[in-house]
Structure 1
Amino acid sequence: MFKLSTVASLLALSFTTGAMAQISYLEDTRDQISIQDYSYEQKALVAEQAKLLLDGLYVNKYAKNLYYGLSPAGHLDPVVAVDDLINNMGNLSSSQFHQQLQKIFLSQRDFHLDYNYPAPMKNFVSFVPVHFAQTVNTDGSKEVRVNRIWQNYTVLAPDTSTVSLGDKVIAYNGQAVTDVVNNTLFQGGGANPDGGFVGALNNLTIKSHNKQMPPQNDALTLTLESYETGEIYSVNLPWLVYNGNPTTQANTEDNAAQFTQSINYEFATFKELEAAAQDSAFALAANATAEPTVTWNKVQVDGESVGYIKIASFSPKNGTNTALVAIIDILDNQLSDTKALIIDVRSNPGGNILYNDYLLQLFTPKLVTPSHVRFINTPENHHILNNSLFGTYLSDNWHQVLADVQGTNEQYSAATSFMTKDAANQIGQAYYGNVGVWANANTYSAGDMFTCGMQDNGIATVFGQHKRTGAGGANVIEHGLFVQYVGAPYQALPYDQSMRVSWRQSVRQGHHINALIEDYGCVANEVVSYNVEDIFDGDTQDFNTIARKLLAKPTARATLAFNSDRFASVAETNGVYNFDVTNTEYVDVYIDGTKVKRISAFAYGTQAKTISYTLPSNVTTGTVQFVGLDSGKTRLWNSTRFF
């Protein structure tokens, strides 16, 4: 077994990322991964704060009890369970207290509901450099196979060299791997059968100690079947430990952004370690942008150009505006000649809901409906909105929907949105071909919302590696924000401990009006299962399958092509906009959202007709939107120009 001195020298040679200098072995680090000893008063404080969240603010508490039922070994009623804990905590050690409270939170199978262990324990993550995926055979049977080997870490675990991609996982520490996964569904955090399985599967090889206790053994024993030879073999992999600051809140551009987050931090941690390993599975995403979480490519499929955009996270590193501009630029200048577009949000852990809502309009001529969420109707929520600084960050619509149910027996408020419908449509359309969204059961939170939003608004076909997305249907708020902006009864926790809660529940619109995302997820229109061949071909086979399905769909008959850049100034255009259209009866013109003219285009057939419009001389800054209509005044296309 390697020792710390060996690790340090190897890392110095192998890695350039600063975080990698904090890797050690579990056997050398176990004593540091510890829980502080809490006094009775500290336990009482933590338990009461947990109850404030679970009873007064947790928006999914009713729905979870209905969806999963109650079981001592499975889902627990969070309010009853925390009351039992409070009554018994005098008999519990600090470790027992934290683990029992953690069990209550994890049993909800909700990645937005977090009970994080105190420092220093929460700063550690244990992992092995081999990771698994569920694959589907041609007969529909499912297996667990090795789909990722983090090569930059394997120098610390030499036995990894005997493991190959595609090898079938038979046993995990001597137990059948499917039994291990099924026995830990209520510890893995994932919702529904698909999300639950992949959540538990992820947890087999990476354990964040903000939620999970360290593995009992210093090494993991795997029994595998070679994909190449069929040989059964075993391997022992040492648990590696990353010691750094705990995953913090996703990039927020201002205080208000902290109120619109929806992200799975556990999977985000996985992605950070993956990035540090310089390991990327997204071979299709060949071209970078100014926003690292957005990449793209143009792929030839059967002689046709198909666009590809990978959105790795809805927490853009360089801010929402940079990400939006990057995507608009791709659509306007790189993929404008493609007949179909695949938007890949597989394994997207979520992030900023506003970012997700702004994106929808880019892919449709129709007016989109943004995400809607609702409150649980409790005295605690009424106090927060009406009697605290916290409430001042929320616009009038939030206050109104909660006021409407105050004093009633309604469990929830009406649903409302983070932005107005006008705001959700102010950028306009930027892509005019057929669109598919590629998702899986690791698509979570704002990733769920985007996928469902594209489906609910009739914008895209959803293609799933699994039947459902990860089913994270809530806006999440940190307990610390309530402490900061509400005050009493919310109090800071000992030893840098933290919690967060699913505060507002996502309610679907459009084609799935009033359906929940939580637990149910977004059901794929078509399932394109992940199989063993996909491990080796960089998803090319599945990409081609999806592309062919999109190319086979009817395309819009009406077309639009501009002769100037979307962001060209008046000085560049002289206020004149020329554009070519086909199969368009009329063009409505809007300046800064107000309709100013209807142009009779009378462009029939495929022969393009040039339309010209000149801005009024007194208009020098703002937006002008052109909306193509058919004879029945149905919207065919739209484009907004910024000047």
Structure 2
Amino acid sequence: NPVTIDLSYKEAREKLEEGMRNLPDLAKQQSDVGLVYGSQGTSYSNYTWHILPDHEDHPDSSQRHHLPYESEMTGGDFLDQAAVPLCDILEPMELDQPTISDDSLYFKKLAVQKNLPEYIKLKLPKFYGQEIDLSDIESQTKNLTNLVRSNFNFIQSLPAFYQTHGYLSLQDRLTIIDQATVLLEQAYVHLHLKRAMHASDPKEQLRILRNRIQEEDNCFSEIEFHKEIIRIFNSLRDLHTTYYLPAPFSDKVAFLPFFIEEYFDGNEARYIVSKFIGKPPSLHFREKVIITHWNNIPIRRAIMLNGERFAGSNPAARFARGLDSMTFRPLAMILPPEEESVTVEYKDIGTWKRRITIPWLVGSIHSSRISTFEKTSISNFQLFSGYDYLTHLVHHIKKCFFATEVVNIEQSFLKNRKPVQVAANYESTSFPGHFRAKMINHGDKSFAYIRIFSFATNDPVDFVKEFIRLIEQMPAKGLILDVRNNGGGNILAAEWMLQVLTDKQIVPQPEQFINTPLVEELCRLHSPSNIVEGLDLTDWQKTIKEMIKTGSIYSLGYPITSPDSLKTFRAEKQLKLVLITDALCYSAADIFAAGFHDHELGRIIGTSENTGAGGANVWTHALLHHLTREAGKQSKYFRSLPYGSNFRVAIRRTLRVGSNTGIPLEDLGVKPDLIHHMTKDDLLYENKDLIFEACNVLIQMQ
């Protein structure tokens, strides 16, 4: 300041407060008289206060940079160019408090800023002895253990979550829509099938959405925009082809503090509360209570309605998704609840009918938990991936809630690389997140049981070798393989494991592209690839040009798994085998079940009427963007997506072999030889009746 005035802090503040209240009058005075400058050391009482706009300069100094542009200096006199006088624009203002401790509303004003992470908005006040009123959240989360809380940056109410401001501009939203359109038109292998089976026209829906957001700018909040994209992708009924939300929504999960499971009492389905996150919220609402109604809707009907929100390929798959997500919804991929709370009617242990209302909470998952899980998802295994990312995400979050010790064991293994025992009576394994193996004594006979939670691995060779080691560790007359809730993973791992089970030669399942200019370009650039090790589309490239000429929708089918690679894992003899499936088996797990059936390796017991019916190789938008960029050039088809958003797409569809040769796996799935309805003892005592039935089936087999 070129003027030095001897003012006390109190006098200066009072004068500034008065000046800001009188901004319109000061602006009028400026336009009438012009600026007045004094010399240093002049008494304060002899001065008249004026506005000094930041686009005007003091005669002896500049407040802004002046740079040459088109032969003129920037930062010129803007005041003369103004269409409206400054005095007609300015309004009286309040002077901000000088410090945070003086301003009780500072953090509430900070919380509405769009460019700050939410954990800063919610946690920063505590360092200054202040808090945004979160008393309702504190009362709702008081029953959560510190171990559960450690998985989250913070927890908030659902209404507070709906106030979240995203980061997307209008152009960002248009980019997402345009890239989704290219992906579906040029890469999505099931588009024609989905149009026929589910009357879905996602391209037209995207076109309409694009027009709406351009004509009615700001008609959608960002959350509503994401809801529309999710809804369009869900209409495909394809869990491979999905939209992944950007920050700040990608790490959020909406949850109620309990878990529901289904069992059958005779022919009647019942729904039991099997686990709680922390302490039960009331004396009567505890483990083993039976839920009868959900917001006044019979519980089975409520599950069916919830399942219709998802992309399951068949009724069994949609119902399974509906049940799986009744109390847990990763908001990176699932629509958030509309209701702020849920009223549950239930029968307690004494069969008294009671009800309780429980609010939805939204947690921001700690970055260390997400990043560990994501290491598999962003690796090169995508080239051979067949997985349902949503199922992987849901199960990972459930582990954070209900099996935090297992998550810690898995993370400890990543550091030490030594086989670990996750639970008593189970074999130690170097893949604790994938396998759970133990011996089953059934009368005078012993059988081996291996639960395969996932085929998702960057190292399929070591994965299959560990599977072989577990089988050899448990010499038995028969083997029970359980792939329930397995969302898939690496197709190579799934088909190599099939070969481990039999001395027959496994025929790998062929995969087809859709015939489009994008696919033709992909095949031309990567036959074989110079930029991605292991990618060779030569077989498809040889025929795809001719297939396009004929007007054929699909390319010829060729296997992802090399027949020669299977010889390494061929078994010396055939074991007696039983496979257990459910409607959450998907993708590589579906491919595994289809191969098991088509090669007649054993009997299949299903706890659902069908598998998830997902048969495809899945690539991400980011991978396609990378693969369609020639050296030093931009991709013809793809652009980067904003703020970490992404798409996944079924790029190659799977065809079955054997007696089902040529039949697509997508939407049809694998039906079991017999169905086992889960019992109460199955839920409470580690699948007791299910394993008993599987042992009996093994005994009856030749």
* TM-score (normalised: structure 1): 0.77
Structure 2 spans left out of the alignment, 5+ residues? 1-133, 407-421, 629-634
Letter in 2 for 1:483: H
Task: Please name the residue that 1:481 is paired with.
Answer: 623
Alpha-carbon distance, 1:179 to partner: 3.0
Task: Please name the residue that 1:237 is paired with.
Answer: 358
**Is the CA contact (8 Å cut-off) linking 2:610 and 2:672 kept in structure 1?**
yes
> Of Structure 1 and Structure 2, which has the larger fraction of its residues in strand?
1
Task: Please name the residue that 2:428 is paired with.
Answer: 288
SS state of the match for residue 701, structure 2?
Answer: coil
SS state of the match for residue 449, structure 1?
Answer: helix
Q: Match for 2:228 among 80, 100, 122?
A: 100
**Is the CA contact (8 Å cut-off) linking 2:511 and 2:557 kept in structure 1?**
yes
Looking at structure 2, the residues matched to 465 and 424 of structure 1 have their Cα atoms a distance apart, in angstroms, of 30
Q: Give the 5 Å matches for 1:122-271.
A: 122-139=250-267, 141-143=268-270, 145-146=271-272, 148-150=274-276, 153-155=277-279, 158-159=281-282, 162-226=284-348, 228-244=349-365, 245=367, 251-252=375-376, 256-271=380-395
**Is the CA contact (8 Å cut-off) linking 2:606 and 2:676 kept in structure 1?**
yes
Task: Please name the residue that 1:541 is paired with.
Answer: 689
Pair 1:454 & 2:596 matched: yes
252 and 119 in structure 1: CA distance in 2 versus 1, 3 angstrom threshold: closer
Task: Please name the residue that 2:497 is paired with.
Answer: 359
Alpha-carbon distance, 1:114 to partner: 1.0
308 and 147 in structure 1: CA distance in 2 versus 1, 3 angstrom threshold: farther
Looking at structure 2, the residues matched to 117 and 295 of structure 1 have their Cα atoms a distance apart, in angstroms, of 32
SS state of the match for residue 617, structure 2?
Answer: strand
Pair 1:35 & 2:166 matched: yes
Letter in 2 for 1:231: W
Looking at structure 1, the residues matched to 528 and 226 of structure 2 have their Cα atoms a distance apart, in angstroms, of 29
Cα deviation digits, residues 399-442 of structure 1 (max 9, x gap) = 23534412221111122111221212322116643101111111
Cα deviation digits, residues 493-514 of structure 1 (max 9, x gap) = 1222111111111111113212
**Is the CA contact (8 Å cut-off) linking 1:348 and 1:447 kept in structure 2?**
yes
Alpha-carbon distance, 1:3 to partner: 5.7
Cα deviation digits, residues 241-276 of structure 1 (max 9, x gap) = 331349577654996422111222222122112222
Looking at structure 2, the residues matched to 225 and 538 of structure 1 have their Cα atoms a distance apart, in angstroms, of 23
Task: Please name the residue that 1:502 is paired with.
Answer: 650
SS state of the match for residue 122, structure 1?
Answer: coil
Cα deviation digits, residues 162-204 of structure 1 (max 9, x gap) = 3344433222223233333333434222220110111122222
SS state of the match for residue 188, structure 1?
Answer: coil
Looking at structure 1, the residues matched to 285 and 511 of structure 2 have their Cα atoms a distance apart, in angstroms, of 45
Cα deviation digits, residues 69-113 of structure 1 (max 9, x gap) = x2xxxxx32223223323333234243433222211011121111
Letter in 2 for 1:439: T
205 and 541 in structure 1: CA distance in 2 versus 1, 3 angstrom threshold: same
SS state of the match for residue 126, structure 1?
Answer: strand
Task: State percent identity of aligned pairs.
Answer: 22
Task: Please name the residue that 2:641 is paired with.
Answer: 493
Task: Please name the residue that 1:350 is paired with.
Answer: 488
Task: Please name the residue that 1:516 is paired with.
Answer: 664
Looking at structure 2, the residues matched to 42 and 278 of structure 1 have their Cα atoms a distance apart, in angstroms, of 37
Q: Give the 5 Å matches for 1:287-436.
A: 287-292=427-432, 293-316=434-457, 319-332=459-472, 334-336=473-475, 338-387=476-525, 393-429=535-571, 432-436=574-578
**Is the CA contact (8 Å cut-off) linking 2:143 and 2:278 kept in structure 1?**
no
Q: Match for 2:178 among 41, 48, 56?
A: 48
Letter in 2 for 1:24: I
Task: Please name the residue that 2:111 is paired with.
Answer: none
Alpha-carbon distance, 1:447 to partner: 1.1
Looking at structure 1, the residues matched to 319 and 401 of structure 2 have their Cα atoms a distance apart, in angstroms, of 25
Looking at structure 2, the residues matched to 414 and 428 of structure 1 have their Cα atoms a distance apart, in angstroms, of 27
SS state of the match for residue 548, structure 2?
Answer: coil
Cα deviation digits, residues 521-576 of structure 1 (max 9, x gap) = 1111111121333222221111011111111111xxxxxxxxxxxxxxxxxxxxxx
288 and 9 in structure 1: CA distance in 2 versus 1, 3 angstrom threshold: farther
433 and 2 in structure 1: CA distance in 2 versus 1, 3 angstrom threshold: farther
Alpha-carbon distance, 1:520 to partner: 1.5
Letter in 2 for 1:288: S
Letter in 2 for 1:303: D
**Is the CA contact (8 Å cut-off) linking 1:444 and 1:472 kept in structure 2?**
yes
**Is the CA contact (8 Å cut-off) linking 2:528 and 2:538 kept in structure 1?**
no
Looking at structure 2, the residues matched to 223 and 538 of structure 1 have their Cα atoms a distance apart, in angstroms, of 27
Deviates more, 1:281-290 or 1:358-367: 281-290
**Is the CA contact (8 Å cut-off) linking 2:226 and 2:245 kept in structure 1?**
yes
388 and 93 in structure 1: CA distance in 2 versus 1, 3 angstrom threshold: farther
Letter in 2 for 1:355: A
Alpha-carbon distance, 1:18 to partner: 8.7
Looking at structure 1, the residues matched to 354 and 142 of structure 2 have their Cα atoms a distance apart, in angstroms, of 31
Alpha-carbon distance, 1:127 to partner: 1.2
SS state of the match for residue 466, structure 1?
Answer: coil
434 and 163 in structure 1: CA distance in 2 versus 1, 3 angstrom threshold: farther
522 and 163 in structure 1: CA distance in 2 versus 1, 3 angstrom threshold: farther
**Higher radius of gyration, 1 or 2:** 2
SS state of the match for residue 518, structure 2?
Answer: helix
Letter in 2 for 1:277: F
RMSD of aligned Cα (Å):
2.9
**Is the CA contact (8 Å cut-off) linking 2:158 and 2:362 kept in structure 1?**
no
Task: Please name the residue that 2:37 is paired with.
Answer: none
319 and 128 in structure 1: CA distance in 2 versus 1, 3 angstrom threshold: farther
Deviates more, 1:360-369 or 1:195-204: 195-204
* TM-score (normalised: structure 2): 0.71
Cα deviation digits, residues 600-623 of structure 1 (max 9, x gap) = xxxxxxxxxxxxxxxxxxxxxxxx
SS state of the match for residue 451, structure 1?
Answer: helix
Deviates more, 1:479-488 or 1:168-177: 168-177
Looking at structure 2, the residues matched to 389 and 30 of structure 1 have their Cα atoms a distance apart, in angstroms, of 47
Pair 1:20 & 2:151 matched: yes
Task: Please name the residue that 2:43 is paired with.
Answer: none
**Is the CA contact (8 Å cut-off) linking 1:146 and 1:164 kept in structure 2?**
no
Looking at structure 1, the residues matched to 142 and 325 of structure 2 have their Cα atoms a distance apart, in angstroms, of 29
Looking at structure 1, the residues matched to 518 and 324 of structure 2 have their Cα atoms a distance apart, in angstroms, of 35
Task: Please name the residue that 2:107 is paired with.
Answer: none
Letter in 2 for 1:369: V
213 and 455 in structure 1: CA distance in 2 versus 1, 3 angstrom threshold: closer
Looking at structure 1, the residues matched to 528 and 344 of structure 2 have their Cα atoms a distance apart, in angstroms, of 49
**Is the CA contact (8 Å cut-off) linking 1:285 and 1:309 kept in structure 2?**
no
**Is the CA contact (8 Å cut-off) linking 1:37 and 1:94 kept in structure 2?**
no
**Is the CA contact (8 Å cut-off) linking 1:364 and 1:429 kept in structure 2?**
yes
Looking at structure 2, the residues matched to 431 and 251 of structure 1 have their Cα atoms a distance apart, in angstroms, of 36
48 and 298 in structure 1: CA distance in 2 versus 1, 3 angstrom threshold: same
